[in-house]
Each structure stands twice: as structure tokens, then as C-alpha cells.
Amino acid sequence: MSALRVLRIGPAASIQDQGRAGRLDQGISCGGAADLLALAEGAALLRQDGGLAALELAGMGGAFEATAPVRIALTGAPMVASLDGAPLAWNASHLLQAGQRLDIGAARKGVYGYLHLGGGIASEALLGARAAHLVSGLGRTVVEGDLLPAGTDTGRETGLGLAAEDRFQGGELRIVESFQSSLFAQEVRARFAETAFTRGSRANRMGVEMISEGEGFAAAGQLNVLSEIIVPGDVQMTGDGKPFVLLREAQTTGGYPRIGSVLPCDLTRVAQAQAGTALRFRWISLAEGLAAQAQYDKMIKALPTRCKPLLRDPAIMQDLLSYQLISGVVSADAEPFESGDIT
């Protein structure tokens, strides 16, 4: 069985897939990978289904040993990676042989990096998914000594690279009105969009704190707001008017007022923002939001066509001798179009 043995691991690393949809009535939010785009990128690089589970690395990487040949891909927040000491390209797929050691360092930018296995990580499924939902107590973090088993790998191709969508520098977040937007005066909503925010220090898979100067953003009758359904992307205000953008493990209901909801396709910018990263909100219509999300979904489907062979340095190719290096070589002296002169 192909697997990776965990020799060293950073805190809060967990196995994640696309999560558990349709369980809000049981008190379980969807969960799943904080950066779903990184999940799709890994699937494209390994030519496999986007629903397979991967290892989510929260800010810090780890060290792993292959128990048998296994294909991997590295996506999400760029981290320094090496195989038996030789550097590995990020946002690319690679082949590990039995006994080889993979080392992954800290994130150079962004927060969440992903380690994918050919065939996905075949950990135990709980309530229809392998994603660890830490808030609900489903699954747990990955620790030193764990074995990450690979599922059945139907692909063979490696050595592919993919130009990553840059969502690690913060930037603009498109937001649409939601159930409780009308509780906020029009001037409050306008000021919200005009305000420069930075990601605060309080952040996890449930949500991210947004910091700004000036007064908070209060809603009318906010102390009497009834608890309503919550979805990832909702921007919830605390009692002092400080916004939190809710992420994949957000609570299922809540009584704090919500000024609007960030488009799902922009949530990766929030999840991947390091503390102090600048972010701004821009109101758009529901129609504009649906069009933007449709364009994003189209881009996700096209990811496999954007994967290209890596340009590799022969000086650091550990598998160089496995390549046919002389096929097609011709004699410098012979007539190349005469039969039998091709050697």
C-alpha cells in the first residue's frame, strides 16, 4: 500500500476534502478545505477527481516518508519543499519512490498549503466525508507518527506544473446583500465599502477578524436579532461592530447581525490572508455575483487544460537515468534521408 508516514508536522494540519453539504439541520456546517481552489488545482495536476481528500497544512509544513511509490502534488500557499534534499517545484506534481523523504517548510505567503496524493488520502470517512471538522469533533488534526494512506491511483502522469491563481495578497472581496443587510443603514453599508481593512490576529477555520480604524458598523435593533441560518462568506458583526468573515467551519446559526455575504469564489482570498494583509469590500448585485461565480466555476473545470510539463533542471533530476536520452539522435556525417543512417 502506498502511503506517507508523518515524521514531523505543524500544528492544525488536517485531512480535508470538499466537506459535508446538507447537514445544517444536524448542527454541522459544510467544512472542508479552507482553499477549495487549491483542492481543485491538486486534482488537475494529478488528473484525478476533485472530491478526493488532501492534507491541509496551516502555515507550517512537515516531513514525510514514502512507504511505496506514490504521486503527489503541492498547491495552495507556497511553501519551500524538497525531496531527499533536492528542491521541488510548488504548484506541481511529482513522483516519490519508497523510502524517499519529503520536507515542506513554512508558508512564504498565504496560510494554507496542500499536499495531495495520487488516489487521494484514504482515511476513514465520517458522515460521508473524510474532512476533519474540528469544531464539531469530527476527525482530528494530523500528528507525528500518523500514516496517510493513498487510495487507488488510476493515473500515472507527473511532472506537471500549473500557474496558480494569486489569492495570497488580499485585495478586493465582492459582497452581495443577504437576509439582514437591510438592518444596516445605507450610509453604514456605503462606509463599509469605503473602509480599508486588514486581517486581524484572530482567525481560524471558522472565521477571520477584520480590523479597521474608526467606529464600528452597527445595525438597527442588533440586540434583538433572531438566530438565523449562517453560510460561509457571511460577514457577521460583533457587539462592538467589528466584522468577521465566516469560513468553512462557521457555526450553523447565529444572532449577530450580518451585513452581507462574500462570494464563495472570493473566500479563498480571506482564508489565505496572513495577519495584516489589506482587504476591501465591494458591493455588487446578485446578478453580478451569480455571473462571477459562474465564470469561476468555468475556470475550475478548465484547470486540467492549463497544466503543462515542468521545465526541469537535469542537474537536480534524481530520475534522469530513467529517461530515454538518445532516441532520435542522427549522425553528423551521414545523409539523414538515406535509409539506415539514423542511429
3-state DSSP call for residue 87? strand
The pairing of strands 101-107 and 308-309 is: unpaired
Query: For residue 129, what is the DSSP state?
Result: B
CB 108 within 8 A of CB 80: yes
Residue type, 77: A
How much is the mean pLDDT over the chain? 89
* pLDDT < 70 stretches in the chain: 222-224, 312-343
Confidence at residue 48, expressed as pLDDT on a 0 to 100 scale: 96
Confidence at residue 85, expressed as pLDDT on a 0 to 100 scale: 95
Are 106 and 194 in a shared domain?
A: no
- Cell 465599502 identifies what position? 193
Are 12 and 160 in a shared domain?
A: yes
Cβ contacts of residue 307 below 8 Å, gap of 6+?
44, 45, 160, 161, 162
Instruction: Give the CATH number, domain containing residue 203.
Output: 2.40.100.10
Are 161 and 181 in a shared domain?
A: no
Confidence at residue 134, expressed as pLDDT on a 0 to 100 scale: 86
Q: Residue 10: which domain range?
A: 3-166+313-322
Confidence at residue 23, expressed as pLDDT on a 0 to 100 scale: 82
The pairing of strands 278-283 and 171-176 is: parallel
Are 249 and 141 in a shared domain?
A: no
Confidence at residue 118, expressed as pLDDT on a 0 to 100 scale: 96
What number of residues does the chain have?
343
Cβ contacts of residue 241 below 8 Å, gap of 6+?
215, 216, 217, 218
Confidence at residue 339, expressed as pLDDT on a 0 to 100 scale: 47
Confidence at residue 285, expressed as pLDDT on a 0 to 100 scale: 97
| Residue pLDDT, tens place only, 112-139 | 999 999 999 999 998 889 999 988 888 8
Write down the pTM of the prediction: 0.88
